[in-house]
């Protein structure tokens, strides 16, 4: 093995050691969803534009409600299983400031006179995709529109617990 190969192997061992030690120190090891996979998440989510709204729905054939849509997209594109309710989803991952949003982040809104009553997936460029009950189908909206800006509750970046 040449010096360059040896250095790369040593760097890999060091990174793995840091991850293992970090897991021992906290009891949990969190691995952030890689940005390379976020493209598949947003592409798949966009492919569902126009799917019908259905309260309690979680499939393209029968329709979606907001949490069913988000859960279906994350499971189908990344293999991540999210809780079924919006309230419980709002505890997954890490909080993200509105100025630090990245594609794939979950965005939450107060649409039923209670916090975290609606969820969508941030796409970038002030746009998010969701399954609203009003309007009847999955669609893309601008997060800076008055309604969404006024009712914004925050965002979360999903992490995997390993």
Active centre residues (catalytic): 66, 118, 130
Residue 66 CA, chain-centre distance (Å), reads 13
Query: What whole-number distance in Å separates Cα of residue 58 and Cα of residue 123?
Result: 20
Residue 28, Cβ density class (10 Å: 0-12 exposed, 13-18 middle, ≥19 buried): exposed
Reference 136, options 29, 49, 71; nearest CA is 49
Residue 134, Cβ density class (10 Å: 0-12 exposed, 13-18 middle, ≥19 buried): exposed
């Amino acid at each position: 093995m040449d010096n360059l190969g040896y250095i790369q192997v040593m760097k890999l061992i060091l990174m793995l050691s840091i991850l293992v030690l970090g897991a021992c120190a906290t009891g949990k090891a969190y691995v952030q969803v890689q940005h390379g996979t976020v493209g598949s998440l947003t592409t798949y989510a966009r492919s569902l534009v126009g799917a019908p709204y259905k309260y309690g729905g979680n499939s393209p054939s029968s329709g979606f409600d907001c949490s069913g849509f988000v859960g279906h997209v994350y499971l189908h594109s990344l293999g991540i299983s999210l809780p079924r309710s919006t309230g419980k989803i709002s505890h997954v991952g890490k909080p993200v400031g509105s100025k630090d949003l990245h594609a794939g982040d979950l965005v939450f809104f107060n649409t039923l006179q209670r916090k975290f009553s609606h969820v969508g997936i941030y796409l970038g460029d002030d746009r998010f995709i969701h399954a609203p009950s009003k309007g009847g189908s999955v669609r893309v909206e601008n997060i800076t529109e008055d309604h969404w800006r006024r009712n914004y509750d925050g965002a979360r970046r999903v992490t995997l617990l390993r």
